[in-house]
Structure 1
Amino acid sequence: MKCVTKPPPAPVDVVLPCLNEAAALPWVLERVPPGWRAIVVDNGSTDGSARIAADAGALVVDAPVRGFGAACHAGLLAATAEVVCFCDCDASLDPGLLPAVAGPVLAGTADLVLGRRRPTTARAWPPHARLANLQLARLLRRRTGLRLHDLGPMRAARRTALLSLDLTDRRSGYPLQMVVRAADAGWRVQETPVPYAPRTGRSKVTGTWRGTWHAVRDMSAVLREPSAAGVAR
């Protein structure tokens, strides 16, 4: 009897939170590094995004509760690889650049790496969203001492360590809560520059004043949380 061996698990899982990104998904999934697994978390899409992702070979996870954090965390819970990356699913960030972001984590020289967004055109990052990000970075520095310039969505860390942070925000504050709790736990946090292009399709968050306001509100609440101690690396 011929023994069939299972393929080895992917070295990295890439969590892609998705809400109506049918136009961007094919390009995004094509750019996921070979051998890495794409986890598309469908957060209530009505444009066939889930079907497109499944047809492209991605693992599709359903996150029925709306919220960026809810989608990200559902992907984290579905991941099995040692290292997990997060990336937007709107083609503003190139998943092909994820090895540069995940490299220090894989090498053991960093615990959390963030992609520092560098706009390729003025349209990529609206002024109101950029100013809000700079202000949050300043507040984060005051709260944690981390001298970061961006709280961008492209990032990498070890899965078990991320789970140990016990992240609770399920809205726009999720990315900031990850950084704050990582800093409280003494993680080595660094950033690396990544190009930031205009997104494909309509923005749901930072492309609008209302979306930016909601994001700042959620993140400000995270900064008011008491310091957490004793979280593992």
Structure 2
Amino acid sequence: MSIRTDVVLPCLDEASALPGVLASLPDGARAIVVDNGSTDGSAAIARRAGALVVDAEQRGYGAAVHAGLLAATAPVVAFCDADGSFDLGQLDRVAEPVHRGEQDLVFGRRRPVSAGVWPVHARIANTVLLSTVRRRTGLPLRDLGPFRAGRREQLIALGLEDRRSGYPLELLLRAWSAGLRIAEVEVDYHPRSGRSKVTGTVRGTVTAVTDMRRMLRRFA
């Protein structure tokens, strides 16, 4: 089977969600599970399911995602949380516009499938951030979600440096500065398995907002 899309799944203790996530991977896609210090056997579960497992010793969302990008070999690389909050059966929604040459970078706009899926504090933080991004860039994006896809060579060429929660925003801003074509499509957003390490807690959201504000100042 030819691998058209590598799917990078940053992972920190997602043993309960991984079997279902990996089982939903469509044909033509390969899972790259980036273990970021799991202690629940996540890496072993991923290997048994046939995923490529990469160890990211440096802790942080950006560190894990970038390690997966560097390990990818497919022409198009997608990124998605490994907690079951997204259906990889919808991978084509974000990856196909890139494969067809219509877009260079596609973000999945989260569409909650039920009430309470997206905590209020996290949704407000996302809304405020994207309002600032729209004013600064003119891009009509409404969500900086973790389900996204781009062309591998272009993503690597952006020279992303952040290794924490500012990584997605740096990706967007550098892609915009480089003149890449950026779009947004809707994807379903489901209740995650277990508690989120970032947006599921106020503390995690504050950390993410702090990282992203720092990133905005860099591109001021």
Q: Name the TM-score class by shorter chain.
A: over 0.9
Matched, 1:225 2:218: yes
Counterpart position of 1:178: 171
The question of whether the paired residues in 1 share the 8 Å contact of 2:10 and 2:82 is answered with: yes
Deviation of 1:194 after TM superposition, in Å, equals 0.6
Secondary structure of 2:218's aligned partner: coil
Structure 1: which 5+ residue stretches go unaligned? 1-6, 228-233
**Out of 98, 103, 109, which is 2:96 matched to?**
103
Counterpart position of 1:4: none
Matched, 1:29 2:22: yes
Instruction: Provide, for residues 147-206 of structure 1, a one-character-per-residue CA deviation record: whole Å limited to 9, x for no partner.
Output: 100000000100000001100000011111101111111111110001101110111000
Partners of 1:122 and 1:171 in 2: how far apart?
A: 29
Structure with higher Rg: it is 1
Q: Name the count of aligned residue pairs.
A: 220
Normalised TM-score (structure 2): 0.98
Ranges of 4+ aligned residues in structure 1 off by more than 4 Å? none
Deviation of 1:35 after TM superposition, in Å, equals 2.4
Q: Percent identity?
A: 63
One-letter code aligned to 1:163: I
Alpha-carbon RMSD: 0.9
Partners of 1:219 and 1:122 in 2: how far apart?
A: 26
Partners of 2:28 and 2:77 in 1: how far apart?
A: 13
Secondary structure of 1:123's aligned partner: coil
Secondary structure of 1:224's aligned partner: helix
Partners of 1:72 and 1:142 in 2: how far apart?
A: 27
Counterpart position of 2:159: 166
Matched, 1:143 2:136: yes
Instruction: Provide, for residues 42-93 of structure 1, a one-character-per-residue CA deviation record: whole Å limited to 9, x for no partner.
Output: 0000000000000000000000111000000000000000000000000001
Secondary structure of 2:210's aligned partner: helix
**Out of 194, 197, 204, which is 1:211 matched to?**
204
Normalised TM-score (structure 1): 0.93
Structure 2: which 5+ residue stretches go unaligned? none
Instruction: Provide, for residues 16-37 of structure 1, a one-character-per-residue CA deviation record: whole Å limited to 9, x for no partner.
Output: 0000000000000001111211
Matches within 5 A, 1:35-74: 35-74=28-67
